[in-house]
Structures are given as structure tokens and as C-alpha cells.
Amino acid sequence: MAGLVSKSTSNTSTYAGLGPLLMLPSWVLIGFFLVLPVGMMLIYSFLTKEFRGGVIWEFSLAAYDQFFFDRGLFGDDPPVIEWTYIKIFWRSTWQAAVATFFCLLIGFPTAWFIATRTGPNKSIWLFLITIPYWVNLLIRTISMKFLIRDTGPLNEWLLSLGVISEPIHIINTNFAVQLGLFYSYLPFMVLPIYASVERYNFSFSEAAADLYASRWTTLTKVILPFVKPGIIAGCILVFVPSLGAFLAPDLLGGAKNFMIGSLIEEQFKGNAGNWPFGAAISMILLSIVLVVLTYYARQQGKEEAR
Amino acid sequence: MTEIAINIQNMTKRYGSFVALKNVSLSIKDNEFFTLLGPSGCGKTTLLRTIAGFENISEGAIKLYGEDIAELPPNKRPVNTVFQQYALFPHMDVTTNVMFGLLQLGQDRATASARVTEVLDLVQLTQFANRLPSQLSGGQQQRVALARALAPKPKVLLLDEPLSALDLKLRQAVRQELQQIQQETGITFVFVTHDQEEALTMSDRIAVIADGVVQQVGSARDIYEAPLNKFVADFIGETNLIDVVVTDVSQGNATCILPGGEKFTCPAAAGAVAGSGHLSVRPERVTLTKPGKGLLQGITTRQVYLGTDMHVDVRLDDGEIITVRVQNSEGMIIPETGAIAGLEFETGAARLLVD
Amino acid sequence: MANKLDLRRFPGFLAVTYLCLFLLYAPLIVVMVYSFNDSNSITNWGGLSLRWYGEVFWGAEAAKFKAAAINSITIATMAAISATTIATLAATAMLKAGKFRGKSFGFALINLPLMVPEIVTAVATLIFFSAIGFTTGYFTILIAHIVFCVPFAYLPIAARMQGIEDVYEQAALDLYATRFQAFKLILLPLMTPGIISGFLLAFIISLDDFIITNFVKGAGIETLPTAIFGSVKQGIKPNIMAISTLLLLVSVVFVTLSYLVGRMGQNKK
């Protein structure tokens, strides 16, 4: 996060008084092209859908209604909960959670290992871990797809080794999506944990050892609590983008693995589109994300106040 | 009558609720080498920066040769600063650094170049004209900083502890050079330091500052011989502070009773009053005499050999310790630890301080 | 000290780290290797060949990809320049302009594009342009890119500016420079590595973007990622491997440059 703010103690900063002027372009740009659009999106979620995409400017709760409830054709029946979309949200949450778990499982030891390297090795390892992140996400997802397809190199290789007799069907399964999400966001788990471990004082480990703790006890009782902020940050940084991800579910999951991202995208494609509905889903997603982030920010605030 | 270069009247500087400078009033004369002296955090640098224009003042006035400059931004004040860490622009060579102010003032390159050569000559750095700051030693960087600040011929030159990063021998050499340059150019120097030896050797006048308050202003001699209060007496050189009961203060003299009961008269600092007080007596003005003689009696507690002299600590009955400086010489008599010694000093050697 | 090492070492962690690296690089390396596959089928290995690279530049779909690449590069350049400029001004405000009203709000705003999920940004931007009647196309892509490039450019710029002490600009003011001169002659030159670093980062972020671009581009235009995506939807062909490898290498080179340039400034001090 861009966390850099001025540390000046002087009463007269060089460009004092010019602050608002210098910030103006950012304010205009982001206010006009991000904040305003989100506001428009909120409004659109309360409008009526137009047949070929777009909207009719007429207030309607149809979008949210469609999300939660299933009304009969004439709308007179009492609302019955529509589970389809809720299930999609639930599945997305589940997939994101599993991906986060895998990231944690693999990311924590990796982060620990890198942080405990000495000298220039440390930056080299860090660099190695982050380079794949900088490759286009689309390319990475395509690569993963290519690799794990039924006729892909992985299966080819395993078949030729005789380890399996039939190709393992990975593509278009839940696991493929989780793998894709894991692949997309792993560095986001590693880096915050790395930062936390960097700050860890190994005298704590020495003290624990002095008091007869085994290595693993030290890990669970001493190290993990200390590194918790990094772990939580990492989990959030993986979970949030995974929730709204589009590429991994779309390319790796296929039709059966519809997630929020794909659901939203569908609403804006061609004639079958339902813009208010798409807007509504986006609003719901955004709200969930903001709640999670606010909760996290508040926790951070409490941590720092301690 | 000498012109006043900088006149500060009742100036106070606050950072929120913290008061950095309280009611400061100073008059710095034209062509003077004026030093602001004090411990870290006393406000001397803040004071310098208010003159330069990097800090606004909360109350009071600052006048430069009669003109009110408090509202002027730093780039409109005809004063220049030699910064503590020199602040040489790292991406410009020596010549470009020194020329910077001249170009900003609108001089053409030819005139500016000539001036740069002149000023580099003055600080003896002509052969480094094309080097980058990173290629210079600390001492050389300091001279470039000086040259850069002198080039625009400011009315006042401000120096913020410019010698603190230099080693001792270099510092001593540069001190002399700075004095020479000040005399040659005739520019008023306002110099900030926490090193009292520096202040005493270089300055025409010194302002001793503590906790944002000006304690005393005077020449080196004034401050050393006639300190006003405990802080100044203690901060400049070493002194003994003796608890006394003051019975009378009149016409600049105080009559008081020393611990041990002797009556004693000595000069008093302006503003000293009767009641309980402190006498300041420098260790070199105290002499040891036979037990039973002298103004005070005490037991010798220790002797410290310092090469040029010997410091002897004598503890009085009331627990105070008086340090006596005995110059190293053949036949000097130093009492043993535990021996009783008498202490003697002249009237003029003591001074009643403002408490 | 042997003891200290023991406390830092956990059995299995090294293995997991290697596994992690393997998992991260394997797909990419596989793609790179197969891009040199001589066979028509992407599954059977037919020996080394550069034919697919040739196909990319001169084959059937070359024109399409070339147009897409040109769009990507021009948009990325303009977006990066704009984002870098805006981010530099913002960083100056945040770090060197003292306190002012709306400062913390402004700071949140700069970070906002990072916090909103990409697909939400994509939807919102599409809706916005539609609502104001702005036709989707090149400019809508450009504007959307500038917005999300700003926080990325801001990071290295602010990091660098943080390390430039106020005293240099104060010295400039002391020597009669106006604030604008101090900015131009002192701050900007000292900032250059950070600005370049920010530019490179913004460039690659823009070049790589898919989701937002896909939403706001409208029908008639493609960028490299959207063209690749469209092609993949029809089945992964070998020329996709080649393009992917090229794009992959470009990304890595740019980010490495960005990192090195950023470091260059530090060593000079």
C-alpha cells in the first residue's frame, strides 16, 4: 500500500500552502473517474434493465430482488428465496477461502525461509518470488491452463513416467480454480508475512528454547502470535481479489464453476445482459470487500494503539 | 554609532503548545561575529531558522537593518545560510552549486562566474571547481557551503553548527579561517554552536541560550568573568557554586554569610537580591591554605591529575564540594585525601548570581 | 553460531520454498519451452523451432495482434506518462507541503484504485461512460488505465521523495530560488530515479491489464491482453505460446529495470 506520509517536524514545509493545488489532478481524476462511477453503479443497481443492455431510467428494486428472491412470473406470489445467486457467492467465498488456505500453507514456510536468509541472498530470493507476479495475469492463467489440461504437458509427463495410466482430469474442476487463484495471488501472501518475520526478534526463540520448548512449540506459541499481523494481511490480500476474480474461474473452471466474477461479466455481454443486476451484484461484492477491509483497518488501528 | 544588523524584539516561537523560544530580544551589530551558544535543544537553531525564514514566529518582530522581515519568505531575505550538513546539491558540481544563488538573483553567467572564482579563491578551493560534492572531503564540502552562501554577498551570514562534523584539528584551523573571512568581508556572522570553546575563541559577542530563553549576552570575557546566573556560570567553563545567605545587596555589591559563618563581600550580578543565593567562584581563583586559615574549611576528598594542572575536591561541612585548580609546578602542595584544608579567594573572584 | 541457525531452521521449510518456486515458475517455463515447439499440435514435442514466433509477426493473425500491440503500447505510454505526472504532484503534496485540509482524504483517494476489486472498477467505469454517453473505445481505455496506474506510479516516487531531505530545497530557497525553481532544479533531478521507476511500473501495469480493459473497450478495438484472451477462447494455439512468452519477457524486463533504476539512486547518495 502506498503508506508514505510526511514526517516533517518543521512548521514551514517547502511547498506549504500548495497542497490542495498539487493534489487537484489526483482528486479530479480519481474522484471523477472512480468515485463517481461507483456512485453511478449504485444508482444503476436501482434502475430497470433495458432489453439490449443498458438501462431505462426508472426506479426499481428488481435487480436486488432478482438476486435474493424468486418471484413467480406475475410477481404476486410471496417471495421465495432464490438460492442460485447466493450459491454462487457462497461458492466464490469457498473457493477464495481454499485458495487462501493453500497460499498460507505454502506461503508461510516460504516467507519464513526467505526472511531468515542472510546477506544479499535475501533480496535475490525475494526477487525470484516476485518476478512471476509481474508477468501478466492473463499469461499466467493461460500457462496454468495449458499445463494442467487433459492433453497438457503435466499429464503427458506423468503418463510417460508411468505414474498414472490415464490423464488426471484437473481442468474445469474446483481444484483447477483454486490452483489458479493460488497461482495468481501467492506473492500477496508471502510478502506481508515476510515483512512480519523480518521484524521478529530471534531472542524470543532463544528464550523459548532456554525454557525447554521444542521447535514446533516455539512456532505455534511464540512465533505465530508475533507474525499474526502479517498472516492476516496476507490472507486479506489473497482473499479479496480471489473473491472477485474473473480469469481463473473463467479459463480454468469452465461453465460449471461459475463465480462472482463470471456472473458479473455475463450481465454485461451482449443482448442477454442485465445491467442493473450486474450493478447490484457488484455493489454487493464491493460492500463485502469494504466491510472486510474496514474491519481489518480497525484491527490495525487497535494494534498500533497498543 | 554602529548600525544594528539584526534586531529581534520580544520574539516568541511556538510549535502547538510547546514554546521553543520565549520572549527573545537581541541586537546584533553590523560587522559583528555573533554567536548563539547553548546545549542541544535550547532553541538556538530554531532562532537561527527564524532569521533565515524557515520558521515563522508566533509573536514579536525581526528587523534586518531596520526593515521588518518577519513576513518575508526565505528566498526574499538577503541572508544566506551555511547548513549543518552543508546541503550541497548532490547533482551539481562545485561551481554550479556556488553559482546557484547568483543565477537565481538574475545575474548573467559572466558576472556570476567571476564572482564564483573570487569566492572559491577566498575559501581556497579553486582547484576543486569541477568536482561533485560526493568527491570532496568533509572539510572541503564545508568550504563549498561557505562559498555558496557568501557568493550572493548577503547582508548577514547564518552558520548552523558548521564545524560539528569536522575532527578537532581541522575544526581549530577552520575556526581561524572563519574569523579571518568575517573580518575581510565585513559581513555580519551569526554563528550557532554548543561548543563553548568555539564560542569563546571566535566571537565578538555571545548570546547564551537555554530552554528557549536568552540567559545572557556579552563578550567572551563578560560571560566568563561576570556570569549572570547559575546556568551561564556553569555552562561556560567550570565554576563552584557556593550556597550563601545574602544579607544585603547595594550598588552592585553583595554582603553575605558563607557556609562556616564567615562574612564576605563581593560583586553582585544585576538583579541579584538578598535572601538565599549562590556565589560563583572559578576553580582557578580558589587557593588552598593551611587548615584553620582562609574563608572556608573542608576535608579533601580527591585529587585529579590533568597534566597542566591538578584539580582538588574539598568537601565543606554542609556537604558542598569545592573544586580547586592548582597549576602544575614544582613545589605545589596537594593535601592528602582526608586532610583538612583551608580555602581562600579574593573579593573580586566571587560573584553573587541571579537565582 | 550453530544454535542460532537451529532456531531459524524448520525442517521442511526449505523444501516447501523450493516447491513454491517450482509451482510459480513451472507453468511459465513450460509455456516458454513449448513456444519453441516445432510440431503443429501443441501436445506433441516436435523439436525446436522459431516458427511460431514467425507466425506471430508474419502469419495469419499477425495484423490483428500487431494492431492490438500498438494500441497496448501507445495506451501504456500515455497512461504511464499521465499517471507519473499526477503521482509526482501528489507525492509532493503528501510529503512536502505540510498539513492541509483534505490531506488524509487525498491519501485514501490515491490508494482507492488498489482497494476496489478490479471487476467492480470495470463495471463502474463502463456504467459511467455509458451514462454520460461517452462512446467506449480507445479513450475510455486510456482514462481507466490512468486511474489505476496512479497508485502504482505513486509507490516508488513517494519512496524516493521520502529520502530526499527538505534541507536541499531549503538551501535553494535560502539562495533566492522561487518554489517553482526549487522544484524544477533541485527536487525533480534528485527524484529522477523514482520517477523513472514509477513510469516503468505504471507502463507495465497498463500493458498487462485485462479485466478493466475488456469491459470498457467496446467492440471495435483490442489490446494485446484482450486479443490474446479472445484467441485463447477459441483454443490454445502455438502462436499464443509465442506471444505469451514475448509478453512475459517484456514484463520481466520492465519490472527488473524499474527495480534497478530505483536502486541506482540509492547507491549514489
3-state secondary structure chain C: CHHHHHHHCCCCHHHHHHHHHHHHHHHHHHHHHHCCECCCCCCCCCCECCHHHHHHHHCCCHHHHHHHHHHHHHHHHHHHHHHHHHHHHHHHHHHHCCCCCCHHHHHHHHHHHHHCCHHHHHHHHHHHHHHCCCCCCHHHHHHHHHHHHHHHHHHHHHHHHHCCCHHHHHHHHHCCCCHHHHHHHHHHHHHHHHHHHHHHHHHHHHHHCCHHHHHHCCCCCCCHHHHHHHHHHCCCCHHHHHHHHHHHHHHHHHHHHHHHHHHHHHHHC
| Residue C166, C-alpha cell as written in the block | 527538505
Q: Among B146, B239, B226, B143, which Cα is nearest to B187's? A: B146
What would you measure as the largest C-alpha separation in chain A, in angstroms?
Answer: 75
Q: How many domains does chain A have?
A: 2
Domain B238-352 is found in CATH 2.40.50.140: yes
The whole-angstrom distance between B70's CA and the closest CA on chain A is 13
Q: Is the confidence at residue C268, as pLDDT, over 50?
A: no
* Identity of the amino acid at B246: V
Dihedrals phi, psi of B326, to nearest 5 degrees: -110, 125
Query: Domain check: are A132 and A223 in the same one?
Result: yes
Task: Identify the contact set of chain B against chain C, taking CB-CB distances under 8 A.
Answer: 52-54, 73-76, 79-81, 83, 85, 87, 89-91, 100-101, 104-105, 134, 148-149, 152
Q: What is the mean pLDDT of residues C125-136?
A: 88
pLDDT at A8: 39
**Are A122 and A269 in the same domain?**
yes
Whether the ipTM is more than 0.90: the answer is no
In a domain, A250, yes or no: yes
Would you call B89 and C174 a contact, using CB atoms and an 8 Å cutoff? no
On whether both A98 and A227 belong to a single domain, the answer is yes
Q: What is the pLDDT of residue B44?
A: 94
Q: Note the pLDDT of residue A54.
A: 72
| pLDDT at res. B100 | 93
**Domain's final residue, options A63, A80, A97:** A80
The pTM of the full predicted model, rounded to 2 decimals, is 0.80
Helices within chain B (DSSP H only): 44-52, 94-104, 109-122, 138-150, 168-185, 196-202, 220-225, 230-235
Q: Which three cell numbers stand for residue A254?
A: 469452465
Q: Are residues A71 and A204 in the same domain?
A: no
Which residues are registered as beta bridge partners of B354?
Answer: B229
pLDDT of C2 over the 50 cut: no
Question: Are residues A103 and A175 located together in one domain of the fold?
Answer: yes
Q: In whole angstroms, what is the distance from residue B89 CA to residue C174 CA?
A: 13
The DSSP 8-state label assigned to residue A189 in this structure reads H
Test mutation, C165, C169, C176, C185, chain B, max B CBs within 10 A: C176
Residues A51 and A149 in one domain: no
Distance CA C34, CA C38 (A): 9
- Given this model, what pLDDT does residue A306 score? 53
Beta-carbon pairs below 8 A across chains A and B: 9
Do A67 and A200 lie in a common domain?
A: no
- Burial class (CB within 10 angstroms; exposed 0-12, middle 13-18, buried 19+) of A199: exposed
Q: Both A59 and A172 in a single domain?
A: no
List the CATH number of the domain containing A96.
1.10.3720.10
- pLDDT reported for residue C45: 67
Query: What CATH number belongs to B4-225?
Result: 3.40.50.300
C165 CB neighbours in chain B (<8 A) are 87
For chain C positions 34-73, those within 8 Å of chain A (CB to CB) are 34, 42-43
Q: Residue A252 belongs to what H/E stretch?
A: none
Do A124 and A200 share a domain, yes or no?
A: yes
Q: Are residues A88 and A18 in the same domain?
A: no
> How far, in Å, CA of C103 to CA of C189, rounded?
25
Query: Does residue A116 fall inside a structural domain?
Result: yes
Three-class HEC string of B185-242: HCCEEEEEECCHHHHHHHCCEEEEEECCEEEEEECHHHHHHCCCEHHHHHHCCCCEEE
Mean pLDDT within C138-145: 92
Q: What is the pLDDT along chain B (355 residues), one digit of tens a residue?
A: 678 999 999 999 999 899 999 999 999 999 999 999 999 989 999 999 999 999 999 999 999 999 999 999 898 999 999 998 889 998 899 999 999 999 999 999 999 999 999 999 999 999 999 999 999 998 999 999 999 999 999 999 999 999 988 888 889 899 999 999 999 999 999 999 999 999 999 999 999 999 999 999 999 999 998 999 999 999 998 899 999 999 989 888 999 999 888 899 999 998 888 888 999 999 999 999 888 888 899 999 999 998 888 999 999 988 889 999 998 888 778 888 998 999 999 988 999 998 7
3-state secondary structure of B300: strand
Chain B residues touching residue C172 (CB < 8 angstroms): 89, 100, 104
- Domain residue spans of chain B: 4-225, 238-352
In the DSSP assignment, the letter for residue A200 is -
Classify B62 as helix, strand or coil. strand
| A299 in a structural domain | no
Clarify whether residues A106 and A138 are in a common domain. yes
Measured CA to CA in angstroms, residue C15 lies from A118, A194, A216, B81, C8 at distances of 18, 17, 17, 59, 15
* Helix-helix angle B138-150:B109-122, to 10 degrees: 130
Residue A134: partners with Cβ closer than 8 Å, 6 or more residues away: C204, C251, C252, C254, C255
Task: Give whichever of A10-14, C107-111, C256-260 has the largest mean pLDDT.
Answer: C107-111
The answer as to whether A286 is a domain residue is no
Same domain, residue pair A131 and A265: yes
Report the SS3 class of residue B276. Answer: strand
Lookup: cell for B151: 557568493
Q: Closest by alpha carbon to A186, among B171, C230, C19, B12?
A: C19
- A218 falls within a domain: yes
* Among candidate residues B317, B38, B4, B32, the one with its CA nearest the CA of residue B196: B38
pLDDT tens digits for C8-46?
Answer: 778 888 889 998 898 889 888 888 888 887 766 656 666
Distance between start and end Cα atoms, chain A: 22
CA distance A7 to A13: 10
**Distance in angstroms (rounded) separating the CA atoms of residues B20 and B7:** 19
Residue of A nearest to B46 (CA): A10
- Chain B neighbors of C190, CB-CB under 8 A: 90-91
Q: Given this model, what pLDDT does residue A303 score?
A: 66
**Dist CA C132 CA B69 (whole Å):** 53
- In this prediction, residue B185 carries a pLDDT of 93
Output the CA torsion A45→A46→A49→A55 (10° steps). -80
Q: State percent of chain C over pLDDT 90.
A: 32
Taking only the tens of pLDDT, chain A with its 306 residues reads: 444 444 334 556 888 888 889 999 999 999 999 999 999 999 888 888 776 667 777 777 777 777 777 665 455 666 677 777 888 888 889 999 999 999 999 999 999 898 888 888 888 888 888 888 888 888 889 888 888 887 777 887 788 887 777 777 888 888 889 989 998 888 889 888 888 888 888 778 878 877 777 878 888 888 888 888 889 888 988 998 898 888 888 888 877 768 888 888 888 887 677 888 889 889 999 999 999 888 888 877 776 665
For an interface test with A, the pick among C3, C19, C20 (most A C-beta atoms closer than 10 Å) comes out as C20
The mean pLDDT of chain C is 85
Q: What is the pLDDT of residues B186-232, one digit of tens each?
A: 999 999 999 999 999 999 999 999 999 999 999 999 999 899 999 99
Residue corresponding to grid cell 506510479: C153
| Structural domain that includes position A257 | 83-273
In a domain, A293, yes or no: no
Q: Return the partners of chain B (3 or more C-beta pairs < 8 Å).
A: A, C
Nearest-CA distance A16 → chain B (Å) = 11
